[in-house]
Structure 1
Amino acid sequence: MSSTSASVLLSVLKLIDKHDLYGQVAYPKHHKQSDVPDIYRLAAKTKGVFINPAFIEPFGLTLIEAAAYGLPIVATKNGGPVDIQQVLDNGLLVDPHDQQSIADALLKLVADKQLWARCRQNGLKNIHLYSWPEHCKTYLSRIASCKPRHPQWQRSDDGAETSESDSPSDSLRDIQDLSLNLKFSMDGEKSGTSVNDNSLESEGSIDRKSKLESALLAWSKGISRDTRKAGFSEKADHNSSGKFPVLRRRKHLVVIAGL
């Protein structure tokens, strides 16, 4: 036994002796898991109270176990017991740092038989809300209440068209526009570069840019031509502005990126 546990046990024994509570306090040294239900039943049968005065209780499973056997509770007001008490309404919450508050709550439940009986009845009546079937039912009902969401691309300007299009030519036209803008952007960078910068730029970098421009333009024009033959050509979008065209709303968008 650790020094902390030994100190607590010694304090309990001294209090038992001070108040002459021999035969009134049980502190089993060991117990099996199968003994726990009988301990709850014994406490409920003798009109007792289950207390969990933890400084912070993340959930409070023992409180639910006690309620399942009709045992009223006194629990910390810090953490999960607050939610449990709101659902079960079978006990009192206390400040774990206030000894007098804990004592008053215990005495109130033990002395007031009607309050004790009401807490016991509420616990037995509401405990099903913490069962697995009830949990699954609540979970599925929440999912069913969620509306299906279909993300859509929208134009950023106020006068955007609201119709959706599934035509492949939309994506192909965007690809072609992007390729043209890429060419213009590269040309602008070349023309705006100083003579000193041009002298420092390697021939390999220029060749890579030229090849990228040519390949992208040829690919986009070839696909666009094949698409027009198949009857998918559409009216060009004259409302696009800026360096890159604004995306139109559509159900599917294909992005092809290369490094």
Structure 2
Amino acid sequence: MHIFLPDAPGPDGDGVVKRAGLFGRGAAREAAAPVDATNRLADFDYLEPREVYLDAACQSLRPQPVIDAVNEYYTSYNACGGRVKYAWGKRVDEEVAATRAAVLDRLGLSARSHAVSFTLNTTYGINLLLQQPPQGRFGRVVTSHAEHNSVFLPTMTAAKRLGLPRLVLDRAPDGALVYDPAQARTRRRRRERRLEHRRQHPGEPRGPRPGRPRPRRHRHPRRRPGHGPRARAAPGHRR
């Protein structure tokens, strides 16, 4: 799953933003006008001049327009959307619809074939996406060693459910993800050999991979006489 957002030209340098994975194969549109970095910094002007926030893995900072919109909702039209008929509820419906339209426009997607859902947080949303892909549409699941367990483990479940290989990328010293096509092809061939072996030997119990020696089991050292749970006598009883 990957996406090139329209803040920069596509990877081919042709100014066209290309998308693949869960966002649709072959989707493309002209890149949107770049956003001024100064305006982005102004969205977080509540930070001190020398403060730098790096804990985005915990939660992302809310831009000032988001904070203002939430405060306006609670103080001006705090109502349930989609089921109330008075003015506040109508305002909620309008704001939700406008937000969905803005997200689709930003991603260059059509409301006829895509929908926008609001989730509790990014982790919850990613886990929902991992449960949705149908069989036979995607070729593999790609993640990295830097991913949090709350998403890393669901990628294992998704790969097993879809019967897809799972590729875990390493990190370079500069923090970039390293993708080695040769390594990916080697892993894919190994997986294909294992599947073929299981098809040819359906009743054979799963053990070590074909061609690999069985790992040796290490025994624990013997306990000294009089030690260990079996050597202890219950209170009030003689040995």
Does the alignment reach a TM-score above 0.5?
A: no
TM-score by length of 1: 0.27
Structure showing greater radius of gyration is 1
Greater helix proportion: 1
